[in-house]
Structure 1
Amino acid sequence: MKAVIQCGGKGTRLRPHTSILPKPLMPIGARPVIELVLKWLRRNGIRDVFVTTGYLGHLIRSVCGDGNQWNMHISYTQEPEPLGTIGPLSLLRDELNEPFLVLNGDVLTDLNLSQFANFHRRHNGALSIATATRLTKMDFGVIDEAEGQVTAFREKPDLQHLVSMGIYCMNPTILECIPSGVPFGFDDLMVQMLQEDTAVHVFKHNGRWLDIGRVEDFLKAQDIPWDEQSPAIAAVAAA
């Protein structure tokens, strides 16, 4: 399976750090995020990778090169202008002719890609989303009501949500939904697919997942061993 790593964003949530470095090059310990992502892909059997770049893309190319240092093959696209989270796939129409993986360049996880890919193939849909459960702390008392009367009250509860991990399995047919040359986000894709009543499948991951674009996750990632010598990572790779 080929993988597409989306690295075109400006990383505004991590400013001022991302004024100097693109988000995928932010350091986790002594290594940039994208190096950890590439090694995770390689442990999961993926060698052929496309990296979509925009903001400070030349720095990403300089660090990663052609991928030979990780026994991988890396190709790049350069957005002439920001194309959103899904729009850059329009630059790869001729390259993605079988089911492929798409992921954000700032995601760290122990997701088993073989299980995810097998799930996608079994359901034979155009799109599968890897998801995780996140709790959101409410700063208000939450009221449930019916016909103008309170039926329940919860003081500043933790609300549980199923959220996208920024990792997707897609079939090439998805490329037909993506316009060329204009910004097109994952939210746009979801609206279009739901309006057309196209099935989108959900793969629930209960393991580790951090979004490095969030300051709290970036700081948390510094205390986790992400390399292949980590017992937790090795166990996932062997599963």
Structure 2
Amino acid sequence: MRAIIMAGGKGERLRPYTTVIPKPLMPIGDVAILEVVILQLKKAGFDRITITVNYLGKLIEAYVGDGSRFGIPVDFIYEDKPLSTIGPLAFIKDLKETFLVMNGDILSNIDFKELMDFHKDKNAKATIATYKRNLKVDFGVLKYDKERKIDQFIEKPEYNYDVSMGIYAFEPGILEYITKGEPYGVDSLVLDMIEKKDKVYSYNFDGYWLDIGRPDDYEIAIEKFKNEKEEFL
């Protein structure tokens, strides 16, 4: 199985840390988050990883190397400019079978094999791993009609959403949507696929998932990994 890790972002929400360290190399405990992801993919049965890089990409390549120290071959695709989530795939020439795409800054105990099996069972062209996220608003929320006459006042409501985990299973056919060298995000891909009535599915995951892109979440990830390292490795 082939996995592509997206590691080209600037991690602006984690500045000043990411001024000198690319976000995928941010440490959680004694290892970088990217190393955790690579080891998880290897354990799940993937036999090749491609990492797409841009910002501070040479540091990422120096840390990972050819993957031999992790026991899995790793190669790199360099973006001349930011190409969003899906755009870099156009530069990978040998995507001929089902493959996984994911962000390089995710702490999760998702079962990648189960995700890939779900994708194949559904005969999907794209499958998005999703997670229920609660959003609590710490204010009173007002609703009113077009004349601004208030008809609802909701004190500190909570909303539940199924959000993308930044982990996707794809068929090579999605490459037909990408214009080489142009930025293209997974949001645009999904909307274009829906319009063309291609099969896009949601794989609902109820384990642990955290994107370390915000300082608060990064601190939570450090603590979680320190206390439950064996759960992720």
1:20-99 mapped onto 2 (5 Å cutoff) = 20-92=20-92, 94-99=93-98
Q: Please give the per-residue CA displacement for 1:5-44, whole angstroms capped at 9, x wherever unaligned.
A: 0001111111111110111011111211111111111111
Counterpart position of 1:237: none
Shift of 1:197: 2.6
Counterpart position of 1:198: 198
Rate the CA distance shift 1:128–1:75 in 2: closer, same or farther, 3 A.
same
Counterpart position of 2:112: 113
Rounded Cα–Cα distance in structure 2 between residues aligned with 1:153 and 1:43? 50
Rounded Cα–Cα distance in structure 1 between residues aligned with 2:35 and 2:165? 18
Shift of 1:49: 0.2
Can you give the 5+ residue segments of structure 2 that lack an aligned partner in the other structure? Answer: none
AA aligned to 1:50 is: T
Task: Give the secondary-structure state (helix, strand or coil) at the position aligned to 1:76.
Answer: strand
Rate the CA distance shift 1:63–1:39 in 2: closer, same or farther, 3 A.
same
1:10-29 mapped onto 2 (5 Å cutoff) = 10-29=10-29
Rounded Cα–Cα distance in structure 1 between residues aligned with 2:226 and 2:62? 22
Identity %: 41
Rate the CA distance shift 1:229–1:213 in 2: closer, same or farther, 3 A.
closer
1:209-220 mapped onto 2 (5 Å cutoff) = 209-220=209-220
Task: Give the secondary-structure state (helix, strand or coil) at the position aligned to 1:68.
Answer: coil
Counterpart position of 2:101: 102
Rate the CA distance shift 1:158–1:152 in 2: closer, same or farther, 3 A.
same
Shift of 1:139: 3.2
Rate the CA distance shift 1:17–1:150 in 2: closer, same or farther, 3 A.
same
Shift of 1:213: 1.0
AA aligned to 1:136 is: L
Aligned residues of 1:79 and 1:88 also touching (Cα < 8 A): yes
CA RMSD of aligned residues (A): 2.1
Task: Give the secondary-structure state (helix, strand or coil) at the position aligned to 1:124.
Answer: coil
Q: Please give the per-residue CA displacement for 1:61-88, whole angstroms capped at 9, x wherever unaligned.
A: 0000000111100010000111111101
Aligned residues of 2:124 and 2:199 also touching (Cα < 8 A): yes
Task: Give the secondary-structure state (helix, strand or coil) at the position aligned to 2:182.
Answer: coil
Rounded Cα–Cα distance in structure 1 between residues aligned with 2:151 and 2:119? 41
Aligned residues of 1:135 and 1:161 also touching (Cα < 8 A): yes
TM-score normalised by structure 2 residue count: 0.92
Aligned residues of 2:28 and 2:225 also touching (Cα < 8 A): no
Rounded Cα–Cα distance in structure 2 between residues aligned with 1:81 and 1:58? 15
Counterpart position of 1:141: 140
AA aligned to 2:28 is: I
Q: When the two structures are aligned, how many residues end up with a matched partner?
A: 232
